[in-house]
Amino acid sequence: MVPPLKSKFPQFNLLTISITRLCIVLFALFFVIYSDQYTKSIAQKYLSGLSPVSFYSETVIFSYVENSGGFLGMVSEYPWYLQFFLLNICVPLILLYCLYYLLFEKNLPALHITTLSIITGGGISNLLDRIINNGAVIDFIQIRISVFKTGIFNLADIYIIGGSFLLGFLLIKNRSDE
């Protein structure tokens, strides 16, 4: 008798996902996506077509921009086919992998799950924006301190960058604890 073939790929068994993990992931994703999309809708409603609005002696500036060039317009100078590949193929594949990892990776601490869920939620929200806005993401926040000035970004970018720094810190801390 021939033994059954073992697959190299892990089995997708939703019953192996703990309720706690699923709740953490879903809550973080919902919170990040909802808050980002809500702030973008406010920016679109109140800032679109208007001059920038500044606060705190022009430290925080709100202005409406539709960005089709990736984070802070980083890929806007790339040829259209490379932009398409990076933003419409690579990003969704990375986000799908993150979701898979969040749900099925064993021995992932709750803080890592939360942090990676926040990063993934930010990516999903910006991807959703690209789908809704014909390839563009709504950006509306800029910070200026003395001669330092950021590009224009959105709440999802804050979640992605902040979550990435926190995740990096957690990974470095875990290595030093070993």
The angle that helices 19-47 and 91-104 make with each other, rounded to 10 degrees, is: 150
The set of catalytic residues is: 139, 157
Count the neighbouring beta carbons within 10 Å of the beta carbon of residue 104: 16
Average pLDDT value for residue range 28-51: 97
Residue 7 in this model has a pLDDT that exceeds 70: no
- Helices marked H in the chain: 19-47, 80-85, 91-104, 110-132, 155-177
Higher pLDDT pick, 93 / 177: 93
Per-residue pLDDT reduced to its tens digit, 40-60: 999 999 999 999 999 988 899
Average pLDDT value for residue range 88-102: 95
Higher pLDDT pick, 11 / 173: 173
Residue 14 in this model has a pLDDT that exceeds 70: no
Q: How confident is the model at residue 80 (pLDDT cuts 50, 70, 90)?
A: confident
State the pLDDT at residue 2.
54
Euclidean distance between CA atoms 37 and 52, whole angstroms: 20
Provide φ and ψ at 149, rounded to 5°.
Answer: -140, 125
pTM value is: 0.85
Q: Among 21-35, 63-77, 149-163, where is mean pLDDT lowest?
A: 63-77
